[in-house]
Amino acid sequence: MFTGIVQDMLPITALSKKPGLTTFAIDLTPSLLSELETGASIAVNGVCFTVTEIKAKRIFFDAIAETMDLSNIGDLAVGTQVNIERSAKAGVEIGGHILSGHVIGRAAMTDIESSENNRRMTFQGSKEWMKYIFNKGFLALNGASLTVASVDRTSARFSINLIPETLRRTNFLLLEVGETVNVEIDQQTQVIVDTVTNLLDDRLKEGILEVADRQLTANS
């Protein structure tokens, strides 16, 4: 489990590709290395990875083909700056919201509006999962817990506002138009939307069958 509070932004220090598998490494800071063991979970740009090897401060991860296709992990190169968060510990305050590190897809940035002490970014979503995004709701982009500033369902776009602290701590300041971020939607919102949708679909089907049954009875 993660909280969406990015702890650091660090570069990829090593990367190698094999058929169906990519191994990459990140040199963690002393605070992030504390009590870290192989098998632990770390979110990299919001994607949950298992620590496979520890060599001093260099930590290794494996990414399968599905992860590379679904997320921007497939775009990584040595030197790419990524957002880092270690898994949450029991009893620690959750400042963001509960995340699993399982992204639903990617969103490309379409526009940046900058003003003093603020930056607004607009992203192109997917009609498949835009139904889970609501104005003033929250989601995670590249592992950062953020509030949705606006939603345009017609164009399947949404916007978020970033304060200076978020820009300082994350890789959003490096993001350019056309580049993508990993999206994780709120699981509770997804459950509620899917439950209501299924319920309405069932009732609609029942209504259609009832009307059809009445027509058949009237014609018999």
Do 169 and 154 share a structural domain?
Answer: yes
Task: Give residue 208's pLDDT band: very low, low, confident or very high (50, 70, 90).
Answer: low
Q: Give the separation between CA 181 and CA 123, rounded to whole angstroms.
A: 9
Q: Is residue 97 domain-resident? A: no
Write out pLDDT tens, residues 104-135: 999 999 999 988 878 999 999 998 899 999 99
Q: Is residue 206 domain-resident? A: yes
Q: Is residue 206 pLDDT above 80, yes or no? A: no
Question: Residue 205: what pLDDT?
Answer: 61
Domain region containing 205 = 191-220
Do 204 and 182 share a structural domain?
Answer: no
Question: Residue 144: what pLDDT?
Answer: 96
Using alpha carbons only, what angle is made at residue 50 by residues 47 and 52, rounded to the nearest 5 degrees?
135
Q: Is residue 96 domain-resident? A: no
pTM: 0.86
CA–centroid distance for 49 within its chain: 13
Q: Is residue 63 domain-resident? A: yes
Do 111 and 51 share a structural domain?
Answer: no
Number of domains in the chain: 3
**Dihedral angle over CA of 74, 70, 176, 149, nearest 10:** -150
Do 203 and 137 share a structural domain?
Answer: no
Summarize the confidence of residues 25-50 as an average pLDDT.
97
Coil, strand or helix at 23: strand
Q: Is residue 219 domain-resident? A: yes
Q: Is residue 60 pLDDT above 80, yes or no? A: yes
Question: Residue 202: what pLDDT?
Answer: 65
Do 25 and 66 share a structural domain?
Answer: yes
Do 117 and 183 share a structural domain?
Answer: yes
Do 181 and 115 share a structural domain?
Answer: yes
Please report, for the domain that includes residue 185, its CATH number: 2.40.30.20
Task: Give residue 35's pLDDT band: very low, low, confident or very high (50, 70, 90).
Answer: very high
Do 63 and 113 share a structural domain?
Answer: no
The secondary structure of residue 142, as a DSSP letter, is T
Do 183 and 144 share a structural domain?
Answer: yes
Q: Is residue 81 domain-resident? A: yes
Do 111 and 56 share a structural domain?
Answer: no
Greatest Cα pair distance, the chain, in angstroms, is 82
Do 68 and 32 share a structural domain?
Answer: yes
**Side chain identity at 141, as an amino acid letter?**
L
Q: Is residue 30 domain-resident? A: yes
Write out pLDDT tens, residues 150-169: 999 999 999 999 999 999 99
Q: Is the dihedral of CA 109, 114, 119, 120 positive or negative?
A: negative
Do 30 and 19 share a structural domain?
Answer: yes
Question: Measured between alpha carbons, how far is residue 86 from residues 18, 30, 71, 99, 123 in Å?
Answer: 26, 13, 19, 12, 26
Summarize the confidence of residues 27-46 as an average pLDDT.
96
Q: Is residue 80 pLDDT above 80, yes or no? A: yes
**Domain's final residue, options 29, 57, 86:** 86
Instruction: With CA atoms as reference, report the closest residue to 98 among 113, 80, 85.
Output: 85
Q: Is residue 1 domain-resident? A: no
